Amino acid sequence: MNNSFLKIDNLSKNYGETPALSDISLSLHTEELLVILGPTGAGKTTLLRIIAGLEAADTGRITIDGTDITHQLPAERDIALVFQNFSLYPNKTVRQNLAFPLQAPGRNLSKTEIANRISHTADLLRITPLLDRPATHLSGGEMQRVAIGRAIVRQPQLFLLDEPLTNLDAKLREVLRVELIRLQRDLRTPMIYVTHDRVEALSMGDRIAVLSEGKILQIGTPEEIYQQPNSPIVARQLGYPPINTIDVHKQQNQWFTASNQAIMTADRNAPSNATLGIRAEDISPQGGEIPAIIEVIEDLGASTILLANWAGQSIQISISGEQQWHVGDEIYPSIDLDRVLVWEKKQPQMNTDEHR
């Protein structure tokens, strides 16, 4: 897995005084699907647009297969980008939309070759019956298939997808997500997939890069990011309900909350000030010592989420199956201590953004 295809070194971009991206470095292996995950405004789209060549970075270097493409025009890069809003050519049919990139100067494709590629792509995406429809007379899902088709018909060396499923309804999103995974496996073309959706990130990515406020916080496999997030912000990006985070300090091998209540034993080597991360599924409602009152019950069908007030903290507990709890019930949450994440807290004030 170490043959890197795309390499980005120390890339930064400012809009006026506002930094959009700072010191981004990452690499993409051949045939890899890298998900860039982050909340709205993290700089995901900017990063993608810089890779595509639609915007220029202030500093930094982008190479593909060792070739420096930092200053190349979009057309020179042979990178396909699928836009969030599909961006089909409205005055053309589906067929003409697919043909458009193939008719570019310098491609010199014969009419038969173009027709073959279009019909192959249309088969792959199951849009053959739509080929002669105007691009404006399509449903959202069909438009997105055509947009993806316009990207793959070119057989580019790299795919960039900018939240391609965000504008679709939930059911269609599921279907297309699975299709996209299959497509990427079949085509074996490296892909960078930008999303703010934790499910897409976990299910699609070979690796995930978590982006927040223009910085890459962590890069790793979905398992690594989920099991060993290196900061509370990364931890909050993945999993539902969002991870419980509690600011604590250590006294006599006990973790104390801000309101000076001891909640659990601390490791001998643990830092004196820390943020604890506890996944909702690592708490069970009974067996602990400190009482909590259930405030909200959220029934998700297969599981139920209890929002409870525990030791002066709001915590979420995920329990599976049918449970006979009621709002106002007293419970005694017990925490799986082996699975508690501990992040050393350097500054007294933590970042408290609330992305779910």
Which of 104, 178, 258, 293 binds other proteins (CB under 8 A)? It is 104
Which residues are CB-contacts of 345 (< 8 A; sequence separation ≥ 6)?
247, 271, 273, 274, 275
Site string for other proteins, 49-88 (x = CB under 8 A): ---xxx------------------xxx---xxx-x-xxxx
Site string for other proteins, 113-152 (x = CB under 8 A): ---------------------xxxxx----x------x--
Question: Is the CA virtual torsion 41, 220, 352, 195 positive or negative?
Answer: positive
Of 85 and 309, CB closest to other proteins: 85
Of 73 and 302, CB closest to other proteins: 73
Q: How far is the CB of 78 from other proteins (least distance, A)?
A: 8
Which of 15, 56, 89, 336 binds other proteins (CB under 8 A)? It is 89
> Judged by CB under 8 A, which stretch of 96-104, 179-187, 204-212, 237-245 contacts other proteins?
96-104
> Judged by CB under 8 A, which stretch of 46-54, 241-249, 281-289, 313-321 contacts other proteins?
46-54
Of 87 and 203, CB closest to other proteins: 87
Strands 330-331 and 292-299: antiparallel
- Check binding of 154 to other proteins (CB under 8 A): yes
Of 91 and 228, CB closest to other proteins: 91
- Check binding of 47 to other proteins (CB under 8 A): no
What number of chain residues touch other proteins (CB under 8 A)?
33
Of 92 and 355, CB closest to other proteins: 92
Of 107 and 339, CB closest to other proteins: 107
Of 107 and 182, CB closest to other proteins: 107
Q: How far is the CB of 191 from other proteins (least distance, A)?
A: 15
Interface residues toward other proteins, by CB under 8 A:
52-54, 73-75, 79-81, 83, 85-92, 100-101, 103-107, 134-138, 143, 150, 154
